[in-house]
A and B are shown apart, each in its own frame.
Chain A
Amino acid sequence: MSPTEQPTLSDYRQREQSITLAPVTQQIVERNAGDTSEELLTLNFGPHHPATHGVLRLLVTLQGEIVRDIKPIIGYVHTGIEKTAEDKAYWKVIPVVERMDYLSYYFNAMAFCGAVEKLVEVDVPKRAQYLRVIHLELNRIASHLIWLGTSALDLGAVSIFLYCLRERELILDLFEMSSGARMHTRYFQVGGVIEDIPAGFEGKVREFLKIMPKRADEYGAILNANEIVLQRLRGTCPLDADTLLSLGVSGPLLRAAGNPWDLRKADPYSSYDDFQFKIPVGTVGDNYDRFAVRLAEIYESVHIIEQALDGLPEGPHITTDRKVALPPRHELATSMEALIHHFKLVTEGFRVPPGEVYHPIESPRGELGCFVRSDGSSKPARVHMRDPSFVNLQALSHMAEGSYIADMIATTAMLDPILGGIDR
């Protein structure tokens, strides 16, 4: 392909056909030793379909009911988040970037704030780190609950969906208590968290932590004793850890295949090394292991939150560096410097020294990395979020090849794709 020839300027339908049918048909024909009697059907799982994983479009090539090839087509919720982020001051990027992977909003904010904190070289106080951990783990539980609910919905177990939403309401109440909003809370800021937790928050969290393991036991009991769920998940679509590593997959998918890679343990950030927790790891790498690993992670998150609450230190909730963090409001009435800092931060924002940094964290779906390039001004020059679902989606065709359509649906559910993160 010459550099001047644009590969996109040809007939749309023609291109789609040439992508799927021709090379795959050839492979099938070769595999069946020249027998061309088996017809291949390309089915379009359109962007709007009831398996609610967002607007994912799959071009599935079927031989009978066996899946031979899957081509995911994405971009249906592409929001230009990275482009919008280049236009805004650093602290205004936080709400924009939060809306990327819309189930793990604290994680998006954490990745971005971590990257900017590295660039600005500001220290996050210990109390802020513990508060961040509490909210991150609560978000992890909430994300896994929606995953469990929608996956069970796909498999047909509709009541689990309502149970999981009931628990998620409790978590969203906690978020509302600490920050005022249920989703996309802008709670994490560069240098710490925007506000300290209110009185009574700790009590409410502990109440929740008492209920959550029991509820998770219930879900496990319902699903693990259900013959249909077990038959659909056990032994279906396994993929070994080496292929997953070459595809760049991380997170619960990789852990289900046996590789215990978790950035919270391997490369701890935000005081994760102060806490004792286990990493659930699967053995076979099939759908059941992916399900079991995520369910077990809920218990581990509960354990981490308990430890964080027990050890929550006193101190400031955001860095005391006034060049980066807003001064507390009562100071504005008495201190001229505080007023000037406030003014500078709100109008222009803080300037970040030039450089490039990549900050990875462990989100509920895998390695969420944030690349920030700054050119010395108050707006970032490039923000890129390395979203785990975007990379994990490439594993779908490897996982589901050779299995039935129903298994492909179950695999898509167990993959836990979030289209907001995939399309950004």
Chain B
Amino acid sequence: MPDATGLELIAHELRESEGDEAVRETVFFRGRGTIEVAPERIRAVLAHLRERGFAFLASVHGVDYYPHEPRLGVHYELLDMARVDRITVKLRVPTDAPEVASVTADSSADAPGGPQRGWPTADHQEREIYDMFGVVFQGHPDLRRILMPEDYEGHPQRRDFPVGGEPVAFTYNERDALGPM
């Protein structure tokens, strides 16, 4: 794992190459480092970390930080297989403007950062975050719901979405719980 100083070094490098506003915060917690970045810079940050050796994107998952704004977070878990290092990159977007650039596809030659390789592993995982949280990934080749039915309304994993469920059908409330058959 990059220790605390290693984490600060990485953050410093990122600030140098991407600009000061790219890295918002670094957290070193329980032996693992987390870098919070600005959502606009995510592709560039991941590309930079890939150069540094973190070439395996292990997981992309979403978190709802309700009630702290900005609410929706996306975490990218990176793994450096050669040095057995892990680092987390996270970003947060508000609910009223939940757009993040998708890291799945390769960017074309005329994109601002030049041609960059994408991370194909993020395909289904970004779709799941869209389905469960409502984060819209711009540039994703096929952003549809993946786990819920296609015409489902609502984003279930948000903290203000009710857990739902059925009243348990005992004999005394069988008719009400199960409804007309």
Residues of A whose CB lies within 8 Å of any CB of B are: 1, 3, 7-9, 12, 15, 19, 74-75, 78, 80, 82-84, 86-87, 118-119, 121, 245-250, 261, 266-267, 355-358, 360, 367, 369, 371, 373, 381-382, 384, 386, 390-391, 393-394, 423-424
Contacts and interface: CB of A to CB of B under 8 A. Distances in A.
Interface in B49-87: 55-59, 61-64, 75, 77, 81, 84, 86
A82 B63 contact: no
B121 A424 contact: no
A78 B148 contact: yes
B30 A367 contact: no
30 contacts: A7-B143, A15-B144, A15-B150, A19-B144, A74-B147, A75-B146, A75-B147, A78-B148, A82-B132, A83-B156, A86-B159, A246-B117, A247-B121, A249-B121, A266-B81, A356-B29, A356-B75, A357-B29, A357-B30, A358-B32, A358-B59, A371-B61, A373-B63, A381-B63, A384-B59, A384-B62, A386-B61, A390-B124, A390-B125, A394-B123
A15 B144 CA distance: 10
A82 B151 CA distance: 21
A356 B146 CA distance: 26
Contact of B156 (A1, A80, A119, A382): A80
Nearest to B163: A87
B120 interface: yes
B88 A358 contact: yes
Interface in B138-171: 138, 142-152, 156-157, 159, 161, 163-164
Interface string B34-46: 1000000000000
Interface in B75-107: 75, 77, 81, 84, 86, 88, 97-99
Contacts of A423: 147
A248 B150 contact: no
Contact of B77 (A261, A369, A382): A369
Contact of B144 (A8, A82, A249, A390): A8
B93 to A, nearest CB: 11
A381 B86 CA distance: 23
A362 B156 CA distance: 29
A247 B117 CA distance: 12
B84 A266 contact: yes
Contacts of A367: 58
Contacts of B7: none
Contact of B58 (A84, A386, A394): A386
Contacts of A250: 58
Contacts of A391: 59, 121, 124-125
A1 B138 contact: yes
A247 B132 CA distance: 22
B136 interface: yes
Q: Secondary structure of the A side of the interface?
A: mixed
Interface residues of B, number: 51
A204 B150 CA distance: 50
A413 B157 CA distance: 31
A248 B30 contact: no
B168 to A, nearest CB: 15
Contact of B57 (A118, A248, A424): A248
Contacts of B98: 3
B136 A1 contact: yes
Interface in B1-36: 29-30, 32, 34
B157 A82 contact: yes
Contacts of B161: 83
Nearest to A115: B30
B29 A261 contact: no
A98 B85 CA distance: 28
A391 B147 CA distance: 14
Given A248-B57, A371-B59, A356 B150 contact: no
B55 A369 contact: no
Contacts of B156: 80, 83
B121 A248 contact: yes
B147 A424 contact: yes
Q: Which residue, A266, A355, A394, has most C-beta atoms of chain B within 10 A? A: A394
B77 A358 contact: yes
A423 B131 CA distance: 12
A386 B150 contact: no
Given A382-B64, A391-B124, A19 B77 contact: no
Given A83-B156, A394-B124, A267 B148 contact: no
B144 A75 contact: no
Given A12-B150, A248-B119, 11 more contacts: A15-B144, A15-B150, A75-B146, A83-B156, A84-B163, A245-B56, A248-B121, A355-B30, A357-B29, A358-B59, A391-B125
Contacts of B99: 3
Contact of B146 (A1, A74, A355, A373): A74
Contacts of A267: 84
B150 A357 contact: no
A8 B150 contact: yes
Nearest to A242: B55
